[in-house]
Chain A
């Protein structure tokens, strides 16, 4: 019976259905991408950590931090510091197929590059699946496995990067998309290519992190106004971009869901208005209030559910399409069970909220009045 009622106004029903589908799709896509990005950043933050991270004061995001190289020597002077090393990353362009000529802009792609001190513990965290780490004094790099696959490159090939012919000496795999789509070469080479370059972050290892952590952070923040020291464990909080994105994603999802709810509400209100007489008839032949509510709620539910399934699929398909079309591995999606549960709960809520007021309205219909007029 509820099918019949929904099918009676096909266009309107389709509209509401797509409203729900779009809302759920937006929710799924945005949440999946946010989740994926957060995971990337989290793993990045845990892999690229000293006990303390130092960035330039007041930057929105550690990735935008710019510091002079002498910051490292300044920080090494602190007695609590065991080691201080620079972290550099930048975005550049390379030929889409690694070996192709570089004169066709259409065949170029964005590419993320890291520079790290050769022999550093940080570098060693990038486990090699082929070849060796780079040696100093040579234009050599190691390439992430995803990048190698996408650009069809292997150990022994060359890659023109930042106007320098690098030879690929190793392929690494970390499981972090952002890194596996990137290349790493030595800080020394970086400083040779970009003579007045800055670094992004300084990672500090402490002799006794448990006792000295806050002392060191306070000391740096007090003595160097241009520096901002952060506890590595908390660095994720400082990826304000991520937080912003998450808020944005949540906000957008909420708006989408409100619109979807209004869509269902509208369809159900119109349908009940049109069916005032029918509801009056059902009351007159003795259908109890509960049955009438159930009829209306199931209609709204069916609508929301169909929209929800369609939306979940659209969201997933859209996200995967987006990911496969973006060069750098910044965009990554994750679909934890919680995401699907969230989508399901919200779909159900949209249905229930969209049905409550119409159902209440329907119960207010006096059978006699409904049947009185033609």
Chain B
């Protein structure tokens, strides 16, 4: 339980040459097996925080370590993101010209997983998310909920240690939202899950809630 997955020390992130202070001196440790909800008003810095956890961005000052790796521009971040982190965004962000199956197996490409195996894995995940009969559909042909479930399948296909979800149910009705949350929680067993959410019902199902106000952290 004392395996540190996310380690922020005095992390600040500024934009527009320091005029926008999205995060200020945030220190935070998240351990293996934790499920964390991040809440706070719009524009308070939640997405910025999650982007740093997902090794998609660098701090302006302070230190970010994810599973022991310092997040700096010269670190092998692509590999870390690919193998250890699964990210679900507020929008589905599927590739529009690939069908669902191809989208879900895209993260397997860097590791050169053989096509047959990749396909089987992709099908299995889609099946578990109730999308078996949608595998060869393009994202444009699907409902919002189906797209978000497919995006979740893509985030989980490499069996990541750290699952990050930025308002994953924001654009969904409650039934689809429930499927996604359910699935996230199940995938997070023995792993680590961080969810940005406005929904108190979802926060209440997480082991820990972290609140952000104007770029500063308030633990509750």
Contacts and interface: CB of A to CB of B under 8 A. Distances in A.
The answer to whether A and B belong to the same complex is yes
B107 interface: yes
B185 interface: no
Contacts of A287: 78, 82, 106, 109-110
B97 interface: yes
B83 interface: yes
A281 B104 CA distance: 12
Interface string A272-297: 00000110011111111101000000
Contacts of B168: none
Nearest to B85: A286
A286 B51 contact: no
A286 B154 contact: no
Size bracket, chain A contacts: 20 to 34
Contact of B78 (A5, A277, A278, A286): A286
A286 B57 contact: no
B109 A291 contact: yes
A196 to B, nearest CB: 78
B141 interface: no
Interface in B72-112: 78-83, 85, 87, 89, 91, 93-98, 106-107, 109-110
B109 to A, nearest CB: 7
Nearest to A1: B98
Contacts of B79: 286, 288
A284 B85 CA distance: 9
B56 interface: yes
Interface in A332-374: 366-368, 371-372, 374
Contacts of B56: 283-284, 366-368, 371
A291 B110 contact: yes
Given A291-B109, A367-B56, A8 B97 contact: yes
Interface string B146-158: 0000000010001
Contacts of B82: 285-288
B45 interface: no
A4 interface: yes
A291 B87 CA distance: 20
Contact of B89 (A283, A289, A291, A371): A371
Interface string A35-47: 0000000000000
A286 B98 CA distance: 17
A374 B98 CA distance: 19
Contacts of A291: 109-110
Contacts of A1: 98
Contacts of B85: 286
A31 B98 CA distance: 43
Interface in A1-30: 1, 4-5, 8
Contacts of A283: 56, 78, 81
Interface of A is mostly: helix
B57 A285 contact: no
Contacts of A286: 78-83, 85, 107, 110, 158
A281 B95 contact: yes
A368 B51 contact: yes
Contacts of B80: 286
B33 interface: no
Contacts of B57: 366, 368
A285 B97 contact: no
Contacts of A285: 81-82, 87, 106-107, 154
B145 interface: no
Contacts of A368: 51, 56-57
Contacts of A284: 54, 56, 81, 87, 93
Contacts of A374: 91
Nearest to A5: B97
B97 A281 contact: no
Chain A CB within 10 A, most for which of B51, B96, B98, B154: B51
Nearest to A295: B109
Contacts of A289: 78
Interface in B100-132: 106-107, 109-110
A82 B54 CA distance: 92
Contacts of B47: 372
A8 B95 CA distance: 13
A291 B108 CA distance: 12
Nearest to A288: B78
Contacts of B91: 371, 374
A263 B158 CA distance: 39
Chain B CB within 10 A, most for which of A283, A371, A372, A374: A371
A372 B81 CA distance: 18
A277 B87 CA distance: 15
Given A4-B98, A5-B97, A288-B110, 20 more contacts: A4-B97, A278-B95, A278-B96, A281-B94, A281-B95, A283-B56, A283-B78, A284-B54, A284-B93, A285-B81, A285-B107, A285-B154, A286-B78, A286-B79, A286-B81, A286-B107, A287-B78, A287-B106, A289-B78, A366-B56
Interface of A: 1, 4-5, 8, 277-278, 281-289, 291, 366-368, 371-372, 374
25 contacts: A277-B93, A278-B95, A281-B93, A281-B94, A283-B78, A283-B81, A284-B93, A285-B106, A285-B107, A286-B80, A286-B82, A286-B110, A286-B158, A287-B78, A287-B106, A287-B109, A287-B110, A288-B78, A288-B79, A288-B82, A367-B56, A368-B51, A368-B57, A371-B91, A371-B93
